[in-house]
Amino acid sequence: MKLKRTTKNYIYVAGLLVILSVSIAKYYLDSQQVADEVSNELRHIIQENIDYYTVNMSEDVPVRNCSKFIEKHISLLLFNRDIRSISITDGNKVSCSSVQSLNGIEVKIKKEEVGMIRLFYIPRAPYTDYLISKDDDSVLLKISYTPTYAIYFAFFPEVLTELMENYSWYNIFIKLENASLYKDSVVTENNYLHRGELFETDFNLKLCSFLTYFIINHGFIIIFWTITYLVVVNRSSPIFDRFKASYRSINKALKRSDFHPYLQPVFDINGTLVGAEVLVRWVHPSKGIIPPNDFIDEVEANGKIIEITRMLMNKCSSHLRHAEYLRNKDFHLGFNVCAIQFDSNYLYEDVVQLQQELSPNPIKIVLEVTERHEFENSVFTPYISRLKDKGVIIALDDFGTGHCSMKYLINTRIDVIKIDRTFIDTISSGGSTHVLNAIINLAQSTDIELLAEGVENQEQFNYLHARNIDQYQGFFFDKPLPIEKFIEKYLT
């Protein structure tokens, strides 16, 4: 589906962009907040261990009796599932560890300042840079309390990664001095940490995570906005109006006699009124005047146009039958007809009846046929001949806009060509008038009359007048008027 460039659609798209921007901003702020929460939780875990050291362990160091020391503090390991081991180093060797096999082994240990606390990651034993761990990876909390003496609390890395798991659509990570820990992976790298920080938390913005967040949190606003757009904003669009012009509502309108003829005057080259085109208006009791473009396709497709045209003919007949003014005048009355009306004899019968009713006034009936729907030639041509035998004038409407103009010109005896408004527009819009000139030349080389539709200004009129166009219709002269007003203005 392609959105047309209408104001309504712009508003809809602008609404979507606003929702998207708000969502991105909120996602960013939420990510920041979640990163802070993870940071606080981790700080809390670390602090618990430092406190434990300060309150319960510091009096036992330096360790004189390792087994007693371990025995005393084993409860830390047993009851705190976060901690995998405690070890103490003295100089370059492990002097006491809850992991038996580590006791006494030589390790290369970085000397720290007294009171220094660090948090770092070790991937796998054996490691010479850091304390050796036999198992898999760990995160070590190292507290140095003499230049050579340090205590290590070893955490399962999951203790840290689990902190982030609850926030599924935010990509939070924990930066240690030598690694970054994500929800499901660890990347060893040297991170810059602000002075004195053991760790920092940060986040990445990832499209797929954002989309999950967006759909779950703001999906309903998008749905709501789209429904609002379709129902409220789009209410008066053609889609909606056609929907309203249902078979039932048209039947009701026919019963109420809602369809009313509006007449737009046609003038000859001298400015004399020579006729009018009948344009239908649906005068709805509550919705007001509905223009043909909102329902004509529907009624042409479902055949209701036959009854509508008949209603227009009847109304024109009763208004014009006794118009004294038209006696001895040459006046044409044009009706728009479509292909489906040539499938039955109704059109012919209706036209003949109209002619009879109008016989006190010699009004000539014009039928305007368009190329909107293709006519079946074998039906159309003989039908037209019968109508012409009755004195009906045939006009080819919207000439040049479809593909079949030439076909009808060749096969059918056309009396008038109505040059479509789009070509008249080229006169004053600065566009090319080549096609317009070609149409004029074509018609003038035959005896077909030319009528210019949609003449809107003096410049267009002058141009057409200079080229001897026979008839003129358009807002420059007058707009379509309700038949009563038309009679009052032109026929009295």
Using CB under 6 A as the binding rule, whether residue 264 contacts ligand C2E is answered as: yes
- The CB-of-447 to ligand C2E minimum distance in angstroms stands at 23
Q: What tokens does 394 get?
A: 């045939």
- Report the C-alpha gap between 444 and 482 in whole angstroms: 34
Residue of 391, 458, 475, 484 interacting with ligand C2E (CB under 6 A): 475
Using CB under 6 A as the binding rule, whether residue 279 contacts ligand C2E is answered as: yes
CB atoms within 10 A of CB 336: 24
- Report the C-alpha gap between 258 and 236 in whole angstroms: 20
Using CB under 5 A as the binding rule, whether residue 300 contacts Ca ion is answered as: no
Using CB under 6 A as the binding rule, whether residue 452 contacts ligand C2E is answered as: no
Q: Within 13 Å, how many C-alpha atoms sit on residue 398's CB side?
A: 12
Span from 3-11, 97-105, 443-451, 452-460 in contact with ligand C2E (CB under 6 A): 452-460
Q: Helix count (H) and strand count (E) of the chain?
A: 15, 19
- Report the C-alpha gap between 144 and 61 in whole angstroms: 11
Q: How many residues does the chain have?
A: 492
Matching residue, tokens 């044409």: 332
Q: Within 13 Å, how many C-alpha atoms sit on residue 267's CB side?
A: 18
Span from 32-40, 284-292, 357-365, 366-374 in contact with Ca ion (CB under 5 A): 366-374
Residue of 181, 276, 312, 439 interacting with ligand C2E (CB under 6 A): 312
Count, residues near ligand C2E per rule CB under 6 A: 25
User: H or E stretch including 154?
Assistant: strand 149-155
449 to 468: interface string for Ca ion, x by CB under 5 A: ----x---------------
Matching residue, tokens 């949190």: 217
Using CB under 6 A as the binding rule, whether residue 154 contacts ligand C2E is answered as: no
403 to 432: interface string for ligand C2E, x by CB under 6 A: ------------------x-----------
Cα torsion for 364, 370, 374, 376, to the nearest 10°? 10
Residue 209 or 405 with smaller CB distance to ligand C2E: 405
Residue 84 or 304 with smaller CB distance to ligand C2E: 304
Span from 30-38, 286-294, 318-326, 385-393 in contact with ligand C2E (CB under 6 A): 286-294
Span from 28-36, 111-119, 256-264, 360-368 in contact with Ca ion (CB under 5 A): 360-368
Q: Is-contact 114 145, C-beta < 8 A?
A: yes
368-386 as b/e: b if 16+ CB within 10 A = bbbbeeebeeeebeebbee
Residue of 143, 280, 320, 491 interacting with ligand C2E (CB under 6 A): 280
Residue 139 or 448 with smaller CB distance to ligand C2E: 448
- Report the C-alpha gap between 485 and 142 in whole angstroms: 99
Q: Is-contact 185 211, C-beta < 8 A?
A: no
Residue 164 or 276 with smaller CB distance to Ca ion: 276
Please list every residue from 363 through 402 that binds ligand C2E, using CB under 6 A.
Answer: 368, 370, 397-398
Span from 60-68, 92-100, 114-122, 328-336 in contact with Ca ion (CB under 5 A): 328-336
DSSP 233: I
- The CB-of-469 to Ca ion minimum distance in angstroms stands at 15
Residue 350 or 397 with smaller CB distance to Ca ion: 397
Instruction: Spell out the SS3 assignment of 245-275.
Output: CCHHHHHHHHHHCCEEEEEEEEEECCCCEEE
Using CB under 6 A as the binding rule, whether residue 334 contacts ligand C2E is answered as: no
Handedness of CA 411, 416, 420, 425 (dihedral sign): positive
Q: What tokens does 104 get?
A: 């006494």
Residue of 82, 112, 350, 397 interacting with Ca ion (CB under 5 A): 397
Residue 449 or 453 with smaller CB distance to Ca ion: 453
* Residue 332: strand pairing partners: 275, 364
- The CB-of-296 to ligand C2E minimum distance in angstroms stands at 5
Using CB under 6 A as the binding rule, whether residue 456 contacts ligand C2E is answered as: yes
480, interface contact from ligand C2E, Ca ion, none, CB < 5-8 Å by kind: ligand C2E
- Report the C-alpha gap between 218 and 214 in whole angstroms: 5
Kindly list the residues in this chain that would bind Ca ion in the complex (CB under 5 A). 336, 368, 397-398, 453
Kindly list the residues in this chain that would bind ligand C2E in the complex (CB under 6 A). 264, 279-280, 291-293, 296, 300, 305, 309, 312, 336-338, 368, 370, 397-398, 421, 454-456, 474-475, 480
